[in-house]
Structure 1
Amino acid sequence: MLNKCKNHGLFIVFFFFFVQLIHAQDRKLADSLIVEYNKRNLTGIERLELLRNLSFNLSSDLEESLKYSNELIELALKDENFLYLYRGYSQKGQSYLLAGDLPKALDAFVKSSEAASKVEDKSYEGGAYLKIADVYSGIGNSANAESYYSKSIGILRLTTDTLTLASALLNAGDEAFLTKNYDKALDYFEESGLLFKKVNYPIGIAYNLGNVGMVYAEQGLDSLAEEYINEAMVLLEESEDFYPITVYLTYMSDIYLRRKDFSAALNYAQRSLDLAKQYRLKEQISEANLTLSKLFEISGNHDISLKHYKDHISYRDSIINLENIQQIADLRTDFEVSQKQIEVDLLEQKRKNQLILTFTIAIALFFIGILALLWYRRYLFIKKTNRIIEEERDRSDRLLLNILPEDTATELKLSGKVKTKKHDIVTVLFTDFKGFTSYSENLSPERLVETVDFYFSKFDEIIEKHGLEKIKTIGDAYMCASGLYGNKEDHAHKMILAAKEIVAFVEETKNDIAVNELTFDIRIGINSGPVVAGVVGSKKFAYDIWGDTVNVASRMESMSEPGKINISERTYELIKDDWSCEYRGEIDVKNRGKLKMYFLML
C-alpha cells in the first residue's frame, strides 16, 4: 500500500453510532425532560425511562449525562430492575466513549453485560459484549476484542435481533482485517452483508461493501476492490455519510497507481482531500495530504510534494493529544525493538568474524595483517553504531519526558506500568481564552495551530520556570498542577507566580503591534486540594489527575473574568498572608452550590 496508515477498516459502532447519536440528541427535548424531572411526579418504570432519556439526550455533556445515568443505576439497583440497570451502565459507557475516556467506558460496559446476563432477552447481553469488543478493538487489544466478538455473535445467533448480529459480524470482520486475516474477514463480511440486506439497512450494506473492497485491495485484487468500493460510495453519498468515502477514495488512488495510471490516482487522492476539507474531517485531511505528497514525490514534483507533506503534519499535530502520545509511545517501542535487533546482529557478526579470524590464522600468517585492518574498521563501525544508539536512547527518553513527569517516566520504563498515587494537597490551574471559538472559525487550520502554539509555548516556559507540571491542553484550555513532584510546601505560591506571569504575557501581547491579530483576553481559575494522579492506557499512555479539586479549579476558571485570576477559598487560605485578594462573596456554581471566591490583586 502507498499509505500505511490507511490499513484500517471502518466498523459500524465506533463511527456510525457516534454520528447517529450526535444527530439524535435533542436539546429542546432534554430541557422539557428536565422540567418533568424536577416535578418529581413520575415513579417506577416511568421514572426509569425518564432518566434513560435524559442521559441519552445529554450525552455530549459528560457531567450532566453521568448525573442521570448514575441516578438510573441507583434506582434500578434498588428496584432490582436488571433491564434498566443494563441501560444505565450502557448509557454511562457511551457518555465516557464520547468524552474519549476508554478505560471508564470499558468498566461501564462490563457492568452493563453483568446486568444484561440477568435479563430474559439475551439480545441485550449480546449487544453488551459487542460494545466491550469495540472498546478493546479501539485500544488495540485484538485478543480481547476477538474473544468478545465471538461471545457476542454466539449469543446473538440465538436471538431475533438481526441488525445487532449483522453489526457484530461486520465489526468482527473488521478486527480480522486489522490483523491481516483476510479470509476470515471475508467470511464475516459475507454473512453480515446478507443480514444487512435482509433488514434493508443501507448504511450497514455500504460499510460492508467498502470493507470487502479494502480486503480485496490489500490482496491485490484491484478490479474487485474497485467494484465494491464504488458501489459502497454510491450508497454512502445517498446517506450523506462522507467520512468513509474519504477513506475509500485513497484506496482507489492506490489501485490506479498500481495500474500506473498516475493521473487517475492523483484525481482520487485530490477528491479525498477536497471532501475531507468540505466536511472538516481532520484525520482524513491529514491522510489525503500524505497520499498526495507521496504521489507528487513519485512524479518528481518535490515542491508540491513538500507542501502537501507540511499540510499533513499540520493537521496530524492538531488531532487529539492522546494520539500524539500514542505515536511517541510507538516510536519508543519501535526504537527499543530495533536496538535489540542491532545488538543481536552485532553479536552474530562478531562471532562470524572470530571464526573467520581463527580459520585464516590456521591457513596463513599472511592474512593476519589484512584481518587486523578489517577488525579495526569493524571496531570503528561498532563504536560509531553504539554512539548512535546511545544518542537515540537519550532522544527517546527526552520525548517521553515531554509527556510524563520524570518520576512517572522512570517508573514506566522500569516496570512497564505506573501505580496510581494520591496527593493530599496540590494546586491546580485552568486557563481559557475569551472568544477563541468564534475567532477560530475564521482561521485556516495552519493559522489556528500557529496561534495556539504561540501562547501555549510561552505558558510551557513559564510553568517550567516555576517547577510546575503541565497536565494537558483541550482546545484553547490549558491545565497544570503544582505540588505533584516537589514544591510540597510552597505549591500554591509557585502557582500564583506562574499565573501572574501568564496574565502579564497575555496583556503584553495585546500591546505588541507585531502580533496584535493574535491577541485574546484570558481567564484563570485556581484551586487547591487532594488529587489522584496516574497514567491510563496500556498502549496510548496519558498522564492525568482526577478528583473534586480538579473540578472546582475548572469552575474557578469558568466563573473568572477576562484578565483576572479567580481563586478558591482553599487556595486563598494558603496564600493570604503574602498576596492581596479581593473577596467576591459566595457565588452560585453549577452543580456545586455556593462557593467563596477571590480575585488576586494584580
Structure 2
Amino acid sequence: MKILKNLLIFVCFFSNILWAGDIIDNLEAKLKTISGKEKINVLNALAKAYYEKSPKKSMSYAEQALELAGKADDQKDKADALHNIGVACKYLGNYGKALGYYLESLKIRENIGDEEGIANSLHHIGNIYDYLKNYDQALKYHQNALKIREERGDKKGTADSLHNIGVICHQLNRYTKALEYYQKGLKIREEISDKKGIAGSLNNIGVVYKHIINYPESLDYYLDALKIFEELGIQYEIANISNNIGELYLKLNNYDRAFSYLGQGLKIAQRIEAKELIRENYAFHSDMHAAKGEYQKSLEYYKLSSQMKDRIFTEESSKKVADMQAKYESEKKEKEIELLKKDNHIQQLALGKQKLLKNSLLAGFFFVLILAFVVYNRYRLKKKAHAELEAAHNIITSEKAKSDKLLLNVLPVRVANDLKEKGETEPESFDNVTVYFSDIVGFTNLSSQLEPRFLINELNDIVTAFDNIIEKNQCERIKTIGDAYLCVCGMPEENPNHAENIVNSATEIIQYLTERNHYSKIHWNIRVGIHTGKVVGGVVGIKKYIYDVFGDTINTASRMESNSKPMKINISETTHEIVKNKFKFIERDSIFVKGKGEMKMYFINNGLVVKS
C-alpha cells in the first residue's frame, strides 16, 4: 500500500514538473510578442518561476520589469519587481542587498495599501533577519505578517508565517514550541495541498529531531522532504536537504553515505551559486574528515568554509543593513509627522473659520494667541533641536570610544595609534623579546566528544583568563590559532623585564588551569614553551588588519612547547640565562630539535600537580 501511495505521489509531482517547465516555456515565448503592462506582468512571473531554478535569471527578468514599471509609473508592479530582485539576492547569499530591496518594496506597498504585498514583504524581511541571527527583529516581522494573513483568511500565507515563527523558536533552542508551530503549519499545508510547503515543514521537523538526538525520526523526515523536492526539481532545497542528510549520517558515523549526500549537495550548491549552502557544506566536509582522522583535508575544508563566510558576512554588508533599516524607519516617521501636521493644519483652519463667523473681535484675539503659540512652538523646537544635537554628539563620542576599544582589542596601542594618525605602520625589528607558546594537550580528541557550543564557551573562558593574566604582567597577546596561544613581551614597547614577565604569566596560567580543573567537568592541560631572541613585528593585510610576529625566535618557542610536557613550562637556555636567579628550575637532558640540533632545556619548578 505504501509503495502504491509513493508511486501516486511521484506521478503527481512529475506532472507538476512538466507543467512548470511548460509554463516557463510559454511565458518566454509570449514575452516576445507583448508590450506595456502585460509585458511587466510576464517578466515578474518569470522572475518568480526562476527563483530557485536560476537566481541570476530571476534577477535579470525582475530588473527588466523594474525598468518598465518605472517608466510606466506603475507602483504595484514596481514594488513586485523590487521584491523579486530581493528574493533573487537572497538565494545568491547577498542578504544585505536583499534586505534593501525588500524594505524599498515594503515602503511602496504601504503607500498604496497593498495588504497582501505588505504581509509578503514582512515575511521575507523576517527571513533575512533570521539569516543574520537578529532573532528579535525576525520574530517581530513574522508576527506582524501572521496577523495580517490571519485577518485576510490567507491559509497559505498563515502556514508560511507559522512555519517561520517555528524557525525562530528553533534557533532559540525552544524545540517544543518549534515543533508546535511546524506541525500547525504542516497541517494547513496538507489541507491546501501545498507540496513545496509540505516538504519545507518535513525538513525543519527533521532538523528539530536531530537537535533532540532522535536521529532515526530525523532521517525519516529528511528523506521524505528530499523526495518531494527532487520531484519538484527545486535545486536550492535539494542541496539544502542533501547537506542535512549528510550531516546526520556523519553523526551516525556512516561516512560513506555522508560523503555521498554531501557531495551531491555541494555540486548543486556550486552550480546555483548558493553561498550559504556552500559554506555549510564545506564545514560538514571538514567535520567528516576530522572524524576520519584526515586532518589535512579537514583543515582545507575548514579554510574554504571560513573564506565563504567572510564573503557573505562583512562589516560593510552589516553597516549597509543597519543604514537601510534606519533609512526606512526615518522615512516612515517623517511621513507620519507630515500627516499629523496636515491634520493639525486642517483643524486649525476649520476652527479659525468658525470663530471668524461668530465674532471678528474673537478672531483678532485668536490671531494673537496663535502667533504666541507659534513663537513658543519655535522656541520649543529650537530647544528640542539643541537637545537632539547634544544627544547626537554624545552618541558619536560613545561610538568613537567603542571603535577605539575594538581597535585596541585587535592591535597593540602604539600600532593602533600609528594607523589612526598616519593610515599606516612600518614593520619593526626588536632584539630583546620573550615569546610564550602554549597548546592544549589532547585537544582533538576532547573537541570531537563535545558539543560545538560547549567547546567554544570553554575555550572562550580559558582564553579570556589567559588574556587577563598576560595583560596584568605587561605582555601582549598576538593571536590564537585553534587551541594554541601566542603572546610576547618586549614588543612593540620595549620592556627590560620581558623574560621575567613571560615566565610569571606562564606560571600564573598553569596555576589558573590547575585550580579550574578542580571544579570543571572537563580537565584542560597545556604544554608551554618559552624562548627569547630577536623578533620582527608588523601589520599584515590591508582590509582586515592583523598584527603578527615573525622570526626564528617564534619557531624556537614553538619547538620548546612541542618538547614540553603536560602542565609544564619548558624554557630555552637563552631564556634561562636571563631569569636563572629569579626562579627555580629542573635541568633537562639535551634534546635533539629538528632544524636546530641538540638544545638544552629547563622546566620551571612550580611545584604543581597535574589532575588528569
TM-score, normalised on structure 2?
A: 0.45
Query: Which structure's CA Rg is the greater one?
Result: 2
